[in-house]
A = this chain, B = another copy of it.
Amino acid sequence: MIRIAMLGSGFIGRFYADSIQGQRSKDKIVSIYARKEHNAKKFADDYGCEHYTSNMEDAIAHPDVDVVCIALPNNVHEEAVMLCCKHKKAVVTTKPLGRNGAEALRMLKAVEEAGIFNGYLEDLVYTPKFLKAYESVKNGALGKILWAKSRETHPGPHSDWFWNIELAGGGCILDLGCHCIEITRSFIGKDIKPAEVMCWADTQVKPIEAEDHAIGLIKYENGAIGQFEVSWTFRGGMDLRDEVMGTEGTIWINNFLRTGMEMFTTGKGADYVAEKAESNTGWLFPVGDEVNDLGYNHMFTEMFRCVENGTQPKETFYDGYVVNAVIDAAYKSAKSKLWEPIKLEVWRGLEGVSKASNLVDYDADNYLVKEEMTHYGAKKLILKNKHTGKIEERILE
């Protein structure tokens, strides 16, 4: 049994609580901190917490607390982490880790120096579909990974602080891109160093200083490409899709808007209230079990097992730091319009990996360019002579 202090009683704190205390859980939130006491009290009532407070340190230091779960705005992560270090409490924190690489690095160093358990709550690498896809990729079903794309777009976040660049640290790249970067990095291989980033970003619609739409390409040392597409201007709900291309296969994941559940309603039916503001009549696409489908259940299961076993979870502050470093380079690129190198003061993966050859031998003298079955049932080959470089068509009957 894990006893948790939840910092933050808002949208994400409640999502975490629904996951942690949902179903037949042995874990429990024993303390809740919110800036405003009445919010803390409300949360405590809803989730049966024994202790609530508007003093962050009180929640962290509470003697019953094993693990601190940070569900606060980005600008308060560092303060909260430092208090966990001070009180030697295991800490898990929502994404992104910091508002930038420097903040993230300070947090990383602090928790490691303090020797405390640290987990990075990147839920989207714990969705059931990601986990299944990842296993296939690891087992080689797709061959070598060439490209991985993740897209997260919706009509904008719920709370005011997201829209304030000072508090949030950035716009949709920081809010949504952090997910996409870790998803694509995981498919490509977390040992492979992300080398440089090219990013376009713009404020196309919203009256804000930060970007509301961005697209980025991340080049890895082995030649693979990660891609993110993020926006706060998308209309139609929350679009959450991943795509992976390998030499031997393809994966397409739709996590939200097209998951096999479709509803049409005229809206005349009695007192129905729709769950998304974008539309509540016509064709709607609800998700069955949001808490599970967004990865929260599998994420906390792994985190808390690791706390109990004294092992490291799949996602730590180190990963949060790498993601922040990639985002820093993306922001720089959006301004400089150049491919910007990713600066990783701390890097724990492979070094100096070079681009692999994926050439396929046809025979001693030829590479296979392509083979294809013709309409009339013969096999058509396109070959390249290794010596002359000549391309040739050959029909096998």
Contact = CB atoms under 8 A, between A and B. Distances in A.
A255 to B, nearest CB: 7
A247 B233 contact: yes
Interface stretch (A141-149, A178-186, A322-330): A141-149
Interface residues of A, number: 121
Contact of A207 (B139, B231, B367): B367
Please state the number of chain copies in the assembly: 4
Contacts of A338: 337-338
Contacts of A200: 198, 217, 219, 225
B271 A249 contact: no
A156 interface: yes
Nearest to A153: B245
A146 B204 contact: yes
A277 interface: yes
Contact of A128 (B20, B252, B292, B392): B292
A208 B384 contact: yes
Contact of A235 (B233, B250, B273): B250
Interface stretch (A34-42, A97-105, A112-120, A258-266): A258-266
A286 interface: yes
A89 B163 CA distance: 57
A132 interface: yes
A206 B252 contact: no
A264 B236 contact: yes
A141 B384 CA distance: 35
Contact of A261 (B129, B278, B286): B129
Interface of A: 1-2, 20, 22-27, 127-129, 131-133, 136, 139-143, 146-147, 153, 155-156, 158-160, 163-164, 198, 200, 202, 204-208, 213, 215, 217, 219, 223, 225, 227, 231, 233-237, 245-255, 258-289, 292-293, 297-298, 300-301, 304, 337-339, 358-359, 367, 369-373, 375, 377, 380, 382, 384, 391-393
The 8 A-B residue pairs with the shortest CB-CB distance in the complex, in nearest-first order: A128-B288, A140-B270, A282-B282, A128-B289, A236-B264, A254-B260, A140-B269, A249-B265
